[in-house]
Amino acid sequence: MTGFLALLSSLIWWVLYGSIGAIVPSVIAWLVLRWNEGAPVVFNRTYLACLIWSLLTLLLGAMAAAHAGVTRPPFGPLIASGAFRAALVVSMLTGVIALWRLVPRIDARRIRISSACVAVAVVMAIAFGVATTLVST
């Protein structure tokens, strides 16, 4: 019973931290999609797509860290590992598919896949910039 409660607690915290972590990427993606589509897009669906994307990214990143055996700083070997790079590629593809399939424009048309690619690229570029700044200090 204790193991079940520990697993349930871990899942609740995973969803909680994932939802908190999805706020900033969803705002960035929403702004990029509005600009790139030339029409308003639905924010709550953008948040849902970014939430799914962030939850999967947290899971993939943890699996890659466990596979590489790097779960504590310094994270240089983790970033250099092939498993982490593969996890990033899968994460970006998941983000593109989630945004493309889940985010409609206000006129009920689906956004273009190129717009989803640009939104994911901008979010990842900002995330890499922030991560590089935090790791180098």
The full 3-state SS of the chain, as one line of letters, equals CHHHHHHHHHHHHHHHHHHHHCHHHHHHHHHHHHHHHCCCECHHHHHHHHHHHHHHHHHHHHHHHHHHCCCCCCCHHHHHCHHHHHHHHHHHHHHHHHHHHHCEECCCCECCHHHHHHHHHHHHHHHHHHHHHHHHC
State yes or no: cis peptide before 40, omega within 30 of 0: no
Q: What is the pLDDT of residues 85-137, one digit of tens each?
A: 999 999 999 999 999 999 999 888 899 999 999 999 999 999 989 988 877 66
Q: Quick one: pLDDT at residue 133? A: 84
Residue 4 lies in a domain: no
Q: What is the pLDDT of residues 40-49, one digit of tens each?
A: 999 999 999 9
Q: How many domains does the chain have?
A: 1
Provide the domain limits for residue 57: 30-136
Residue 85 lies in a domain: yes
Residue 5 lies in a domain: no
Residue 12 lies in a domain: no
Residue 18 lies in a domain: no
Residue 123 lies in a domain: yes
- Full-model pTM: 0.88
Residue 50 lies in a domain: yes
Residue 37 lies in a domain: yes
Closest CA to 127 of 102, 35, 30, 135: 135
Sign of the alpha-carbon torsion through 35, 31, 106, 110: positive
50-74 mean pLDDT? 90
